[in-house]
Structures are given as structure tokens and as C-alpha cells.
């Protein structure tokens, strides 16, 4: 199946500047394509991941993928999707973010058929007069003002700095076309105006025969109409320090039945027949949630590796069964990150005192009743002895005590020294 046909089947194409021409070119040769990300933060979230999954598909189909880290454009700020002017970051912060994003990209894409570039390398070398003479002259003000990304900001105002962003992005496309043999730019739907501005500029410089194309992805919405990629806790990050691999896995595992097949098509590299089999099982045995489990496995493996999936599944199983004693300290930190947290000292303490002092139980009478009835578990072990003494330093490297009351009510006690 041609890469363009596959992307259409997966529902991954929103707009293309010339679909027939692009399809023909991909059948004739290995093309160069790129997608960019500005270093406005030190990690991507799964919303950023969407166009890069498409880039990965082209890479796997034998095409030459280029990732552009926007060290230059990131120091300016893209007005797209913003209701007000960005606060400029220090160049020190921009360069720090560049390094972190580059590390993430290397992890996701490996070394084959991939080139990582930074537009700071060429944009920083253009002086003002050259910018105005060589590029500014090619852009019509009326056309720029009509671009959705600019028009949406005119009411509240837009600075000349952010207004020129589309020229800088066009220069990127032209630079990669000339120096890296890149013919296609991939981006989100909100980037359509910027990408087509680059195509127009290349045609003005190189002639209308220059084979350059635009391809954007659809806006990803959940079945309930809300924006994909957000949780109650905020964005789902690719950085494991911001969103643990367990939380990442759980995000995908908890997707709605109405969305899961769409996400399997878009975010996994499973073959068509595998996805269709999972879709059929979703219809006949939805309670097994096999499609969700496969989605969580595939995307977590792509972003964090197979070991992260094994860890996430161990944590999930332990929390469900109550067998937490075999989890590692790292797994406890991941799985209990959002659990109610209390503090205990490192000194041995009677179980009744522990429950009352941490306010897990409201009174000693209630604590004694729950212990006697077998409702209290310490580090996975049911405790019925009212005189039981807990040594907080004996498990999980002396960092945690896991307290469970009833079937599912967990508390993470952090040990202080």
C-alpha cells in the first residue's frame, strides 16, 4: 500500500496541497520530508506526538525524515493557537529545551533515515537587510493578514515579531529544500497557512516546477467532542519525569471504546488486519478491553520501551490484587504517585498509633475495629494483631510504607528521617 493511501485509511490526513502529485512522487523515489517543534518547553506531550507519528510512518516506508528543532523560531514565538503575545524565553532556556527535545527525538526515531536539524543554525546568520531584501520582498501584506493564524490575532493585537513567524518558517522550508532535498512539510492543521506560505516562497524563488508539498493532520478530538491529550492532571508528557511510564500506560488503557480503534490506527504501527481483528473483538467482547490493552502496550513501547510496559503491567496487576510487596521502589513511586500521601518517621510504631497519627483512621476505636476485621494491610500483608509493630525502614529501601484499608483504598506513607 502506498504511504499516502495508508495514511488516508488511518484517518491521518487533514489537508494536502497536491495529493496526486505527492502520491506520484512517493511512488517514484524516496522523498525528504520534515516536521518541526519549537523548544517552548523541555518535553513534548502527546499532542506534539501526533505529526511525528506520521513522520515515523514515512521513515518506516523508506523515506528520509527530518526533524527540525526550532531554536531560531522558538526564540520568537509562533502566534498559532495563542490569544495573546508570548512571553519571550531567555536564550539560555531555549538552548536547554533544544537539548532535551533533541534527546527525545533520538530516542523515538533512532538513527536510520533520520536527520535532526536546528533552524538557529541558519536563521541566526541572516542580517536584517538580507532578511528584508531576500525574503520580506516576497511576501504580500494582504496575503499574510488573511492567514488564519494572523487574522485570529488582529482583534487583540499581534507584534511585528510574531507577525514575521510565517516568513521564518518559510525560510526553513526553503533551506531544507535547497540543502537537504526536502519536498514535504508535515504539521498540525493550525500550521496550514505557514506551510503553504513556504511553498509559495519556494515557487517564487525556484519557479512553479519546484516539487514541494504540504500535508497536515486532523484535529484529534475524543468521542465526547473534547480535545485529545488532556487529563485532570494536565498534559500527558513524553518525559518520564513529568508523566511516569505507568501513568502514560494507564492513559491509553483507559480510552473510551468509541475512540480506541481510531487511536489504534493513528498511534500504533500495527498492520491493517491486526487492527481490524481488535476492532471485531471490541464489538463481540468489549468487557475484555483487549483493544485498549494493545493500544497501551504499543504506544508505551514506542515512547518508553518494552521494559516500561512490563513495569506498568506489574504495577497494575499488583494494585488490582493487593500484592504490592514484590514491587520495586521505582514501581511504587510510579504507581502510587497520585495516591493519598502521609508521612511517618523512621522509628518503629504500633499499627494503631500509625493509623491514627496519619489520620487514615479517625479514632483508635475505629482503627482497632478495622485491624480486627482484617481490613488493614501493610506492604501487602493483612494485619490482624493489635500489637503489631511496623518498622518503616524494612521495605522499599526504607522510603515508603504502603497502607491499604479495605479492598482498594491505598495510602502512600513517605518515611522521614
Known catalytic residues are: 40, 45, 48, 82, 86, 169, 190, 227, 230-231
263 marked as binding residue? no
Q: Please give, one letter per residue, the 3-state secondary structure of the chain.
A: CCHHHHHHHCCCCCEECCHHHHHHHHHHCCCEEEEEECCCCCCCEHHHHHHHHHHHHHHHCCCEEEEEECCCHHHCCCCCCCCCCCCCCCHHHHHHHHHHHHHHHHHHHCCCCEEEEECHHHHCCCCHHHHHHHHHHHCCHHHHHHCHHHHCCCCCCCCHHHHCHHHHHHHHHHHHHHHHCCCEEEEEHHHHHHHHHHHHHHHHHHCCCCCCEEEEECCCECCCCCECCEECCEECECCCCCCCHHHHHHHHHCCCHHHHHHHHHHHCCCCHHHHHHHHHHHHHCHHHCHHHHHHHHHHHHHHHCHHHHHHHHHHHHHHHHCCCCCCCHHHHHHHCCCCCEEEEECCCEEHHHHHHHCCCCCCHHHHHHHHHCCCEEECCEECCCCCCEECCCCCHHHCEEEEEECCCEEEEEEEEC
Tell me if 169 is assigned to a ligand binding site. Answer: yes
**Contact partners, residue 389, CB within 8 Å, separation at least 6:** 348, 349, 350, 351
Binding site residues, as ranges? 34, 165, 169, 230
Binding site residues for ATP, as ranges? 230
Binding site residues for L-tyrosine, as ranges? 34, 165, 169
Amino acid at each position: 500500500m502506498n504511504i499516502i493511501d495508508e495514511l488516508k485509511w488511518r484517518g491521518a490526513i487533514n489537508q494536502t496541497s497536491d495529493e496526486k502529485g505527492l502520491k506520484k512522487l512517493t511512488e517514484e523515489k524516496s522523498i525528504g520530508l520534515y516536521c518541526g517543534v519549537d523548544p517552548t518547553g523541555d518535553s513534548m506531550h502527546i499532542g506534539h506526538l501526533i505529526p511525528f507519528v506520521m513522520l515515523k510512518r514515512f521513515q518506516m516506508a523508506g523515506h528520509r525524515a527530518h526533524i527540525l528543532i526550532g531554536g531560531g523560531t522558538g526564540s520568537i514565538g509562533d502566534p498559532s493557537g495563542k490569544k495573546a503575545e508570548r512571553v519571550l524565553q531567555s536564550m539560555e532556556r531555549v538552548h536547554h529545551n533544544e537539548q532535551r527535545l533533541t534527546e527525545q527525538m533520538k530516542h523515538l526515531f533512532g538513527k536510520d533515515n533520520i536527520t535532526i536539524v536546528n533552524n538557529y543554525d541558519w536563521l541566526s546568520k541572516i542580517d536584517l537587510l538580507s532578511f528584508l531584501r531576500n525574503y520580506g520582498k516576497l511576501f504580500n501584506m494582504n496575503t499574510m493578514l488573511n492567514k488564519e493564524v494572523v487574522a485570529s490575532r488582529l482583534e487583540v493585537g499581534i507584534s511585528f515579531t510574531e507577525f514575521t513567524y510565517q516568513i521564518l518558517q518559510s525560510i526553513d522550508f526553503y533551506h531544507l529544500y535547497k540543502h537537504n532535498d526536502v519536498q514535504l512539510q508535515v504539521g498540525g492543521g493550525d500550521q496550514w497557512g505557514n506551510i503553504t506560505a513556504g511553498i509559495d516562497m519556494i515557487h517564487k524563488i525556484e519557479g512553479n516546477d519546484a516539487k514541494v508539498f504540504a500535508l497536515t493532520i486532523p484535529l484529534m478530538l475524543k468521542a465526547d467532542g473534547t480535545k485529545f491529550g488532556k487529563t485532570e492532571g494536565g498534559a500527558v508528557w513524553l518525559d518520564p519525569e513529568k508523566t511516569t511510564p505507568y501513568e502514560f500506560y494507564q492513559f491509553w488503557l483507559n480510552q473510551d471504546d468509541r475512540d480506541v480503534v481510531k487511536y489504534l490506527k493513528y498511534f500504533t504501527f500495527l498492520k491493517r488486519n491486526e487492527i481490524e481483528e481488535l476492532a471485531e473483538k471490541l464489538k463481540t467482547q468489549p468487557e475484555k478491553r483487549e483493544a485498549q490493552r494493545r493500544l497501551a502496550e504499543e504506544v508505551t513501547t514506542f515512547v518508553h520501551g518494552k521494559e516500561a510496559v512490563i513495569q506498568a503491567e506489574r504495577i497494575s496487576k499488583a494494585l488490582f490484587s493487593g500484592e504490592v510487596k514484590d514491587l520495586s521502589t521505582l514501581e511504587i513511586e510510579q504507581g502510587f504517585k497520585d495516591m493519598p500521601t502521609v508521612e511517618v518517621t523512621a522509628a518503629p510504631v504500633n499499627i494503631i498509633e500509625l493509623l491514627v497519627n496519619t489520620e487514615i483512621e479517625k479514632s483508635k476505636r475505629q482503627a482497632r475495629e478495622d485491624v480486627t476485621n482484617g481490613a488493614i494491610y501493610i506492604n501487602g500483608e493483612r494485619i490482624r494483631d493489635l500489637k503489631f509493630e511496623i518498622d518503616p525502614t524494612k521495605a522499599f529501601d526504607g522510603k515508603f510504607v504502603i497502607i491499604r484499608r479495605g479492598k482498594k483504598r491505598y495510602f502512600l506513607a513517605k518515611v522521614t528521617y
